[in-house]
Amino acid sequence: MAETTIERMRAEVAEGLAGPTRTLSPKYFYDRRGSELFEAITRLPEYYPTRTERTLLVEHVPTWVHVHRPGSLVELGAGAADKTRAILDAMHDAVDEPVYVPIDISGEFLERVAHDLRAAYPDARVRPLVADITAGFHLPDDLPRPVLFALLGSTIGNFPRDEGVDMLRSVREEMADDDRFLLGFDLQKDVAILEAAYNDAAGVTAEFNRN
């Protein structure tokens, strides 16, 4: 881990623990083990967001991709990139040699995901980028345009308002006029549904939080 990254982490942790309500950024959940645990969470029966979003992507993305024909997909906080395959499937059918840039803070986990995707999509160019999306990032200049940026899984809800606005502005700085941004977010739910999703009976989410 780069020294500047360690220094930033120390500063953010100190700031979060010094306030009247002690907090830590959710991004620090996602080391290799944390990423694996979250991947397990997405397969739990109680965790509705992943399967609901996957269904929406499978249903609607092919038509959109056929119309806009993005040359590249840039996914912020890619994780296991499981739902992303619905987008890559559609791009594979509509675009020659699509480029996929998964961005994630966990480099070791990201390399594993990139390896699996290269095997699954040999015609695509998978170019992983290890970065903290809350600190800004810079994309390669040679990405085929237009670019589809994606932030899925209600990840936007993890950010405090100011930090979320800053992150979205950093994305906008990387976008050209013909690029597009696909944002996933949850709708209002019954409290019981939410509690079951984020406090599962198997205790996987609890282990994720402890990690």
Please check whether residue 83 is in contact with residue 153, taking contact to mean a CB–CB distance below 8 angstroms: yes
Average pLDDT of span 174-178: 95
Residue 2 lies in a domain: no
State the residue range of the domain holding 107: 30-210
Q: Give pLDDT, residue 194.
A: 92
Tokens coding 37? 């645990």
pLDDT tens digits, 43-82: 999 999 999 999 999 999 999 999 999 999 999 999 899 9
Asked whether the predicted pLDDT for residue 2 surpasses 60, the reply is: no
**What whole-number distance in Å separates Cα of residue 132 and Cα of residue 103?**
8
**What whole-number distance in Å separates Cα of residue 3 and Cα of residue 67?**
44
Average pLDDT of span 141-165: 92
Residue 20 lies in a domain: no
Q: Give pLDDT, residue 4.
A: 52
Task: Give the CATH number for residue 148.
Answer: 3.40.50.150
pLDDT tens digits, 99-142: 999 999 888 889 999 999 999 999 999 999 999 898 888 999 99
**What whole-number distance in Å separates Cα of residue 120 and Cα of residue 123?**
9
Residue 105 lies in a domain: yes
Residue 60 lies in a domain: yes
pLDDT tens digits, 3-51: 456 787 788 788 878 878 887 877 778 888 988 898 899 999 999 999 9
Q: Give pLDDT, residue 88.
A: 97
**Domain count within the chain:** 1
Residue 77 lies in a domain: yes
Residue 133 lies in a domain: yes
Average pLDDT of span 160-187: 93
Beta strands in 105-199 (DSSP E): 125-126, 129-130, 147-151, 180-183
Burial (CB count <10 Å: 0-12, 13-18, 19+), residue 168: middle
Q: Give pLDDT, residue 3.
A: 45
- Residue 86's pLDDT band, with cuts at 50, 70 and 90, is very high
Residue 22 lies in a domain: no
Residue 6 lies in a domain: no
